[in-house]
Structure 1
């Protein structure tokens, strides 16, 4: 069989019991993390803008939208869901894709299921989600291996979303192959470093990739043809796909501890480590020197004017960690940008690109932080990486705590409890999945940040 036929067969054959227990558990926690991030995302201007756009231009279908009362076309639901999750930079990622699988995958899967009218068990839903992490991770690695430019996640997540949507729709092998080719051709090959230089609502392209992937599957169902998908079929990427169903990439996803770009997180972690170990007050810190890899140093260094600038920054979250001893959604929201103490600390930071750290990127991301105190003493960290990588994974309790922190400003505690309980009980019968669907497809109770 050809590689795209192998992929089609993988989706047809995969069952819940085929997935190792650690991968099952990890997928469930990643789902909870995506939902917490999506809830937080509904409190942003980005969410409101894309929802208004989609209500006007992508309506007329029966696909419901994550944490909204809107009903749209499946393409529209995938777009809004992906952009809403991406609105808060706190969702999972994969080092070798240099991007994010779950952000586009979840809304695309939900949109295709909703539009199909299929009712499935919670374990089947988790199985499809796990399959998407396997396909999406490999699609991202393969695209980076076959093109010279550094593109956003939307470029390769389109292929993943086409595969998952096409499977839900019941496409045969030929139409399925065309869906992959359409998605690869039309996926947003957007340049990542442009949005790093100019942080806006464009973010990581995941919403557009989800929409492109879902659209590709529906086009293929109507007989539209696409060129062969190089990222699946090219001989040079064959080793990447050979491990499908054997090595579980869901275990290789990282989870962010802070709602900012992953590249900034080693520096933030270094700051939190120093203030915990040495307890200097903000007033005691005279100068800050951060050493990291080029992509981290290229992040925004000025006082942010928008939450997008704050999330794609290195200086602002570092200042927040040193002054407030935390970096949460509040620190990357409008209310924080006039904080005089944060602005002052930002002005004390010097940025140093480190060649040795460059050589370790993207497989490893490090930072070193040095603080000069007003006493004249220097304190510094060693090479620091942020927790949440596969080798330093957050435990269940930490993931659950993050979910409540992300959702707490927007949803009531009772509703968060219901979502949490439903996610953790998805393999216990049909009731949990029906509960989860009813909670996912309704507008959140508006809290102070979403007002």
Structure 2
């Protein structure tokens, strides 16, 4: 495995766990962790909690917790997220298998390669746009089969079971009606872990069609490393809203604007971004699946943070004014570039009648211009320190960096204990 892939895998874990820590404050996370503890009896610890559940319950709760704050990594061709269902499945099965730090990291690195290809194969062979949980279930099963480990025949059945029972949930339904169902990642992780356990017990389910009947997506395995082609998010909202946010911030900085100087924001972008049209979100989940609301936040506050899209932060009159008045315009140019590029252009109508025109812009931290290790580390601490405390957050960061040298226990001892700053 190339050295760059090894280093990036550690950064991906750091980013996911930072998002998970901040996400424990969401209503979604509180509900799903209680559900897992109550309905999935077992002795494995829940992430950042005192309670326990089965491996499937821990996978469900972890995946949905990370997904409850839309700040985790993603993959443009998949229009979704590999890391969330992958890490959610790997954590409980790593505990059960007793794997070491190198096995843990190499399984995650393999999972990014498998998940990228499974996602592209599914999106390329079915007409519907399904959530990440659909192909994420197969990815979770592949990672779990590697950890246990399952022999080849049982691995084949595990992948087939996961694909068959994976949540083929409709992504655009959640865009049009944003609620806590989100991207299906937790359900995908739970399905993948269940598939591994079933296959281990002799349950059959082969073949997984996206793996066995779509060879064009798998030919470059081991030569092209998709772990290096993930994007990361500077803001905890849908990736489709991130270019518009950058456009707002670029004009705000360039012209030294304050929100009271702005009469209206116009956003021109691709169809899916325009569909994120929730102007007055009734909860954090709706705020994360909106283009208008976070753009208005960016203009008012100069940033978009987890606190800005929390349930308690959705009624600011100035944010509401700009969100309500925003004009969203669909562009053929941006549509043609999607999903490999997420383009947007922002224009501002000022109260004095001046119109400021922005350039076409892409989200920050795409794989073509990735964040540095320091930038991702800074994001981790902005998300984790207020929740875990600076000392514990730094200890987690150090434990991830040393995983391949010192093992998994130093990290898991920090993850599976309650929040107490």
TM-score tier (shorter): over 0.9
Aligned to 2:71, which of 86, 90, 93? Answer: 90
Aligned to 2:240, which of 247, 258, 263? Answer: 263
Aligned to 2:84, which of 80, 98, 103? Answer: 103
**CA deviation after TM superposition for structure 1 residue 172, in Å:** 1.1
Aligned to 1:48, which of 27, 30, 35? Answer: 30
Aligned mates of 1:231, 1:64 — CA distance in 2? 33
TM-score (norm 1): 0.92
In the other structure, the counterpart of 1:395 is 372
Aligned mates of 2:400, 2:250 — CA distance in 1? 32
| Equivalent runs, 1:197-208 vs 2, <5 Å | 197-208=176-187
Aligned to 2:122, which of 143, 164, 180? Answer: 143
Contact 2:278 2:289 in 1 (8 A): no
In the other structure, the counterpart of 1:421 is 398
Aligned to 1:214, which of 193, 211, 214? Answer: 193
Aligned mates of 2:305, 2:261 — CA distance in 1? 23
In the other structure, the counterpart of 1:228 is 207
Aligned mates of 1:301, 1:191 — CA distance in 2? 18
Contact 2:99 2:147 in 1 (8 A): no
**CA deviation after TM superposition for structure 1 residue 101, in Å:** 0.4
Aligned mates of 2:73, 2:12 — CA distance in 1? 7
In the other structure, the counterpart of 2:287 is 310
Contact 1:64 1:114 in 2 (8 A): no
**CA deviation after TM superposition for structure 1 residue 307, in Å:** 0.2
| Equivalent runs, 1:316-395 vs 2, <5 Å | 316-395=293-372
| Equivalent runs, 1:121-136 vs 2, <5 Å | 122-136=101-115
Aligned mates of 1:359, 1:371 — CA distance in 2? 24
Aligned to 1:193, which of 162, 167, 172? Answer: 172
SS for the counterpart of 2:235 is coil
Deviations 1:149-182 (A, max 9, x none): 0000000010011111112122111111010000
Gaps of 5+ in 1: 1-18, 447-451
Aligned mates of 2:337, 2:375 — CA distance in 1? 28
2:417 maps to 1:435: no
Deviations 1:7-53 (A, max 9, x none): xxxxxxxxxxxx11111111111100000000011111111111111
**CA deviation after TM superposition for structure 1 residue 420, in Å:** 1.1
Aligned mates of 1:62, 1:243 — CA distance in 2? 40
Aligned mates of 1:424, 1:435 — CA distance in 2? 11
**CA deviation after TM superposition for structure 1 residue 404, in Å:** 0.8
2:136 maps to 1:157: yes
Superposed CA RMSD? 1.1
SS for the counterpart of 2:233 is coil
Aligned to 1:77, which of 58, 71, 79? Answer: 58
2:282 maps to 1:300: no
Contact 1:62 1:115 in 2 (8 A): no
Gaps of 5+ in 2: none
Aligned mates of 2:103, 2:154 — CA distance in 1? 23
Aligned mates of 1:65, 1:101 — CA distance in 2? 21
Contact 2:271 2:335 in 1 (8 A): yes
Deviations 1:116-175 (A, max 9, x none): 3x141x222211110111111111111101110000000001001111111212211111
Aligned mates of 1:228, 1:429 — CA distance in 2? 38
Aligned to 2:229, which of 233, 252, 273? Answer: 252
Deviations 1:303-344 (A, max 9, x none): 111000000000000000011111000110122212111111
SS for the counterpart of 2:356 is strand
Length, aligned pairs only: 421
Aligned mates of 1:56, 1:291 — CA distance in 2? 46
